[in-house]
Amino acid sequence: TQLLEQSPQFLSIQEGENLTVYCNSSSVFSSLQWYRQEPGEGPVLLVTVVTGGEVKKLKRLTFQFGDARKDSSLHITAAQPGDTGLYLCAGGDMDSNYQLIWGAGTKLIIKP
Amino acid sequence: KAGVTQTPRYLIKTRGQQVTLSCSPISGHRSVSWYQQTPGQGLQFLFEYFSETQRNKGNFPGRFSGRQFSNSRSEMNVSTLELGDSALYLCASSLTSAPQETQYFGPGTRLLVL
């Protein structure tokens, strides 16, 4: 069974600080997606990375897929209160018709 | 374009009862997937329907079932509820069931089993 481990599970920082959250596995994924979920809402897709070593930027958010396609990171520069939410990663499982395997999430709180 | 809608948003049931949750996908989307979300567990895949046919199924007991109608609306049913079924149930729709197709999630139905 493939697993995706996210770390840290919880992070509370001040506005303006930088942070990185991680998504790790011992298995190879065909792709890796990052979502943000706010209270009372479903997850919203932020980005999909498919190539080992790929880096994508979305304003202050930088996403990286590991060279071996087993891990990914999300870096936020100058965090803002609007970045608060649950960040979830999900990997495409090549052995299960690309079914998504989900991490448990990182709960991020940005304090003003 | 309206997003994915789920009804009801909140539900309280007692053990042994059954429940039916409803999901209306984005207009034009033919694939609907259901997930169970619990704190610390992430999203667990229940099943996916495309054109009224179940395409994939997760590792859940037979008490969990679903169906999809010709208008792509979907329902999931949980019979003989257990305390551990308390969770947020999310529905996601996509245009097709192709791998890596972008999924759009509804707000979820929060089920509490007492």
| Cβ contact, residue pair A42, B40, below 8 Å | no
Contacts of B92 in chain A (CB under 8 A): 42
Residue A105 touches chain B, beta carbons under 8 Å: yes
Structure tokens at B37: 């979300």
For residue A95, pLDDT over 80 is answered with no
Contacts of A43 in chain B (CB under 8 A): 43, 90, 105
Which chain A residue's Cα is nearest to B39?
A104
Any idea which residue has 């979300």 for tokens? Answer: B37
Contacts of B102 in chain A (CB under 8 A): 45, 48
Per the prediction, chain A carries an average pLDDT of: 92
Looking at the complex, report in whole angstroms how far the Cα of residue B67 sits from the nearest Cα belonging to chain A. Answer: 19
Residue A65, beta-bridge partner list = A72
Q: Provide the pLDDT confidence category of residue A94 given band limits of 50, 70 and 90.
A: confident
Of residues B44, B99, B105, nearest to A43 (C-beta) = B105
Q: What is the CA radius of gyration of chain B?
A: 13
Given a contact cutoff of 8 angstroms between Cβ atoms, the answer to whether B104 and B4 are in contact is: yes
HSE of B23, CA atoms in CB hemisphere, 13 A: 33
Looking at the complex, report in whole angstroms how far the Cα of residue B106 sits from the nearest Cα belonging to chain A. Answer: 5
Contacts of A90 in chain B (CB under 8 A): 43
User: What's at A85, amino acid-wise?
Assistant: G
For residue B99, pLDDT over 90 is answered with no
- pLDDT tens digits, B33-76: 999 999 877 899 999 999 999 988 999 999 999 999 999 999 99
